[in-house]
Amino acid sequence: MSVARTAMNLAFPYALDPNGHTAQTSLVAHIEQMIEQILFTSPGERVNRPTFGSGTAQLVFAPNSDMLAAAQQNVIQASLQMWLSDLIRVQSVSVSAEDATLLITVVYVVLATQQQQTQQVVYGALATGGAS
């Protein structure tokens, strides 16, 4: 007899639900949280995962330019495909530099539902708290 298993989508950051169990979230919210983790984790920051992340958080200390935005766009797309290819199909990644701010837009299809999603993250001087 086989037992059907359902995926458990853990909430990030880690928390407990009102019953004292590990908090869970929907698949779409879980994917959004994982995209943010990839964007704001620097390669080498995670133990045993030296290539995880895109290093976008380090850009706050770099001069902002269109060339930097284009290079980061390629890094982000490659990182998303590497780490989330079993959950999403990346349609496009755009990174635009405006003054001291990066606007990152990721368009992807959730493989389990075939629904297209768009996620925007603002990072830099105009963002409050890092990501929005």
pLDDT for the residue numbered 131? 46
pLDDT for the residue numbered 91? 96
Q: What is the DSSP letter of 74?
A: H
> Between vectors from CA 96 to CA 82 and to CA 111, what angle results, nearest 5°?
35
Alpha-carbon gap, residue 106 to 104, rounded angstroms: 7
pLDDT for the residue numbered 117? 96
pLDDT for the residue numbered 62? 65
> Please, are residues 60 and 123 in contact by the beta-carbon 8 Å criterion?
yes
CA 23 to chain centre: 19
- Taken in order of first residue, the domains within the chain and their CATH numbers are 27-124 (3.10.450.40)
Q: How do the pLDDT tens digits run along the chain, 132 residues long?
A: 444 445 678 888 788 889 998 888 899 999 999 999 999 888 888 888 888 988 887 766 666 677 777 888 899 999 999 999 999 999 999 988 777 777 889 999 999 999 999 999 887 765 554 444
